[in-house]
Amino acid sequence: MELLTLEEVKSYLRVEHSEEDFFLAMLIQSSVSYCETYLNRPLITTNMTLENEWDVPESVRLAILMLVAHWYDNRGVVGQVKDEMHFSVTALLNPYRYITFGGGS
């Protein structure tokens, strides 16, 4: 199951053309990957197991949309650092972040 469809992302970005569909798909994948890494848990149901299965909340989907929008608008390698963007995304993700303590084996 897709976490976000291309159509949902295009609607969020108010993009009506299809010339950048491939680029947008890459941004979606990259944003999902970023959030999975930050959260320490899978977001795509096909990657979930019985041990890590969960219902992805809408606020996580919003964080992904915000990342896609940010990276869509700031395509350069070097860009303006936006602390507000980082705070907004992490504020949406932090309640669902899976953190382990210790180094059990």
Q: How far is 6 from 96, CA to CA, in rounded Å?
A: 24
Asked, for residue 103, whether it belongs to a domain, the answer is: no
Residues 5-14, mean pLDDT to the nearest whole number: 97
Residues 21-44, mean pLDDT to the nearest whole number: 96
pLDDT at position 1, please? Answer: 59
Residue 87 belongs to domain spanning: 6-96
Asked, for residue 39, whether it belongs to a domain, the answer is: yes
Asked, for residue 1, whether it belongs to a domain, the answer is: no
Could you tell me if 18 and 71 are in contact, meaning their C-beta atoms sit under 8 angstroms apart?
A: no
How confident is the model over 36-70, as pLDDT tens digits?
A: 999 999 999 999 999 899 999 999 999 999 999 99
DSSP class of 15 = -
pLDDT at position 75, please? Answer: 84
Asked, for residue 105, whether it belongs to a domain, the answer is: no
**How many domains does the structure of the chain reveal?**
1
Asked, for residue 46, whether it belongs to a domain, the answer is: yes
DSSP letter string over 28-78? HHHHHHHHHHHHTS--SGGG--TTT--PPPHHHHHHHHHHHHHHHH--SSS
Q: What is the pTM of this model?
A: 0.86
User: Where residue 42 sits, what CATH number does that domain have?
Assistant: 1.10.3230
